[in-house]
């Protein structure tokens, strides 16, 4: 029965993504105004608090806010730094982890509205016959540190400094000011307030302009590249800090054929070359979003598996692979389906 509705993991994931897109973008409208923000208030996905109908909001808005108003202010007032100052933050992180524990990075690959929007755009790009711009392993390596910089500077450092008075007060939530999910989710609710750039203070204007430009870039780039924003997303690095603490894992066994195959690398929307070349811990990379595409496209039995507490939830298999490539190429090109725009030759 379940097999009929969800013949592939890809179809199942796509369904979950669409449902979660509705929960994160419009969930508050369905659950009632005060229920909004009440699910976790610390979600490991870019569900945005500026979206008036959101069903929840991400951990980054909470951590920026608390670093700015609680911890930063307390540190500089040289108040007794009691445990109390840190309790709200600890509770937020604990709540975050209570959710994260079960799904791990699948919050990226299955839940995040920004991840889903980019994937939808990429699918549209396939229909429009746009090319796929892949990252070479060298370039991937170069981009990877950016997500840590985004986390350390925009989501943690500047809010703390603003709270302590070392940075302008307007830098209390710098990541939110550039976040493309704020723009994507509010536009999905037909709210144009956020796309209008703030003009009151120079810093806000600068960050807002940068955020809008990045959003514009991501929207077009996603038509011809997979998950362009995810690669520099500070939540990807935040989640990566906790990735080894969850029993949900991507597991890859050593396999002799891998060297010549590399199909999983092609299937990976994050261009993680390690998935094809490494095994064990190194294969479950910090950039992995647990989308499971590598396991779907690995042509050998159980070489790549998604496991929860050691129990196999999904494993690669030759049979599955044969079916899967009939529908879609590893790079996400649909087979035997209408292409709206013919590719220019």
Partner 1 sequence: MRSLSMMLLLFSGAALAEAPQPAMPGMEHAHHAHAMRSWTDLPLLKTKAGGESRERVIVVPQNIVADAVDAYSNKLADENGRRRLPLDMAGAKLDKPASGGFHWLAAREEQGDEVRVASAVYYFGERGAENPTDMFITQKHELEIVPQPYPREHSRYRANEDWKFLVRFQGHPVVGQMVALETQNGTKSVWVSDAQGVVTVHLPDDFNAETDGKEIGGSRGMGMRGSDFVLAARRADGGKTYLTAFNAAYGKNAFDQRSIVMGLGFTLLGMLGAVPLLRQRRKKNDMPEQPEQTEQKEEA
- Residues in touch with ligand SF4 (CB under 6 A): 45-46, 108, 112, 114-115, 229-230, 233, 235-236, 250, 267-268, 270, 272, 275, 288-294
Q: Which is nearer to partner 1, 143 or 164 (CB)?
A: 143
From the list ligand SF4, partner 1, none, partner contacted by residue 124 (C-beta under 5 to 8 A by kind): none
Helix (H) or strand (E) holding 275: helix 274-277
Closest C-alpha to 45, from 239, 216, 226: 239
Closest C-alpha to 163, from 91, 63, 33, 288: 63
Per the structure block, which two tokens stand in for 41? 């208030």
Q: Which is nearer to ligand SF4, 207 or 267 (CB)?
A: 267
Query: Smallest distance from the beta carbon of 324 to ligand SF4, in angstroms?
Result: 13
Query: Residue 8, interface with partner 1 (CB under 8 A)?
Result: no
Site mask for partner 1 (CB under 8 A), range 169-198, x = bound: x-------------x--------xx-xxxx
**How many residues contact partner 1, by CB under 8 A?**
70
Bridge partners (DSSP) of residue 307 are 249, 312
Query: Residue 38, interface with partner 1 (CB under 8 A)?
Result: yes
Query: Residue 164, interface with partner 1 (CB under 8 A)?
Result: no
Phi, psi of 237 (to 5 degrees): -75, -40
Sequence-distant (6+) residues with CB within 8 A of 49 are 37, 57, 58, 61
CA 251 – CA 176 distance, rounded (Å): 34
Query: Smallest distance from the beta carbon of 74 to ligand SF4, in angstroms?
Result: 29
Contact yes or no for 255/279 (Cβ under 8 A): yes
Query: Smallest distance from the beta carbon of 287 to partner 1, in angstroms?
Result: 14
Query: Smallest distance from the beta carbon of 41 to partner 1, in angstroms?
Result: 6
What part of residues 56-115 is at the interface with partner 1 (CB under 8 A)? Answer: 57, 62, 88, 91-92, 95
Judged by CB under 8 A, the stretch of 25-33, 97-105, 242-250, 320-328 that binds partner 1 is: 25-33
CA 59 – CA 57 distance, rounded (Å): 7
Phi, psi of 315 (to 5 degrees): -135, 150
Per the structure block, which two tokens stand in for 144? 């990877």
Query: Smallest distance from the beta carbon of 51 to partner 1, in angstroms?
Result: 10
Query: Smallest distance from the beta carbon of 332 to ligand SF4, in angstroms?
Result: 11
Query: Residue 134, interface with partner 1 (CB under 8 A)?
Result: yes
Site mask for partner 1 (CB under 8 A), range 259-298, x = bound: -------x--------------------------------
Under DSSP, is residue 309 helix (H, G, I), strand (E, B) or coil? coil
Q: Which of 113, 174, 208, 299 binds partner 1 (CB under 8 A)?
A: 208
Query: Residue 123, interface with partner 1 (CB under 8 A)?
Result: no
Q: Which of 27, 37, 115, 299 binds partner 1 (CB under 8 A)?
A: 37
Per the structure block, which two tokens stand in for 94? 């604990």
CA 44 – CA 49 distance, rounded (Å): 13
Per the structure block, which two tokens stand in for 29? 């409208």
CA 252 – CA 268 distance, rounded (Å): 14
Rg over alpha carbons for the chain, rounded to the nearest Å, is 21
Q: Which is nearer to partner 1, 159 or 317 (CB)?
A: 159
Under DSSP, is residue 122 helix (H, G, I), strand (E, B) or coil? helix
Q: Which of 15, 139, 254, 323 binds partner 1 (CB under 8 A)?
A: 139
Q: Which of 3, 34, 336, 340 binds partner 1 (CB under 8 A)?
A: 34
| DSSP code for 170 | G
Q: Which is nearer to ligand SF4, 73 or 278 (CB)?
A: 278
């Amino acid at each position: 029965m379940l097999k009929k509705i969800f013949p592939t993991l890809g179809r199942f994931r796509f369904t979950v993504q669409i449902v979660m897109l509705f929960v994160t973008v419009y969930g508050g409208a369905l659950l009632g105004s005060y229920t909004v923000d009440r699910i976790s208030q610390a979600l490991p996905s870019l569900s945005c608090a500026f979206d008036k109908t959101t069903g929840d909001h991400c951990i980054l808005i909470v951590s920026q806010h608390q670093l700015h108003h609680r911890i930063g202010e307390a540190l500089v007032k040289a108040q007794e730094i009691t445990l109390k100052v840190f309790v709200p933050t600890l509770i937020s992180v604990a709540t975050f982890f209570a959710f994260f524990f079960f799904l791990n990075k699948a919050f990226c690959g299955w839940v995040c509205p920004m991840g889903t929007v980019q994937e939808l755009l990429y699918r549209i790009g396939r229909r429009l016959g746009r090319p796929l711009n892949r990252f070479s392993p060298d370039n991937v390596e170069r981009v990877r540190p950016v997500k840590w910089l985004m986390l350390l500077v925009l989501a943690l450092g500047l809010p703390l400094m603003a709270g302590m008075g070392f940075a302008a007060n307007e830098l209390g939530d710098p990541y939110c000011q550039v976040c493309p999910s704020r723009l994507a989710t509010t536009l999905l609710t037909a709210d144009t307030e956020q796309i209008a750039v703030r003009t009151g203070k120079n810093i806000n204007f600068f960050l807002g302009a940068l955020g809008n430009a990045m959003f514009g870039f991501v929207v077009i780039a996603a038509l011809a590249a997979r998950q362009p924003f995810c690669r520099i997303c500070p939540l990807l690095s935040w989640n990566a800090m906790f990735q080894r603490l969850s029993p949900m894992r991507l597991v890859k066994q050593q396999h002799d054929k891998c060297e010549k195959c590399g199909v999983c690398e092609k299937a990976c929307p994050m261009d993680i070359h390690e998935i094809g070349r490494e095994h064990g811990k190194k294969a479950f990379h910090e950039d992995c979003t647990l989308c499971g595409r590598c396991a779907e496209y690995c042509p050998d039995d159980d070489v790549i598996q998604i496991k929860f507490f050691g129990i196999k939830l999904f494993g690669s298999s030759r049979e599955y692979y044969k079916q899967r490539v009939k529908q879609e190429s590893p790079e996400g090109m649909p087979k035997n389906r209408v292409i709206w725009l013919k590719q220019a030759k």
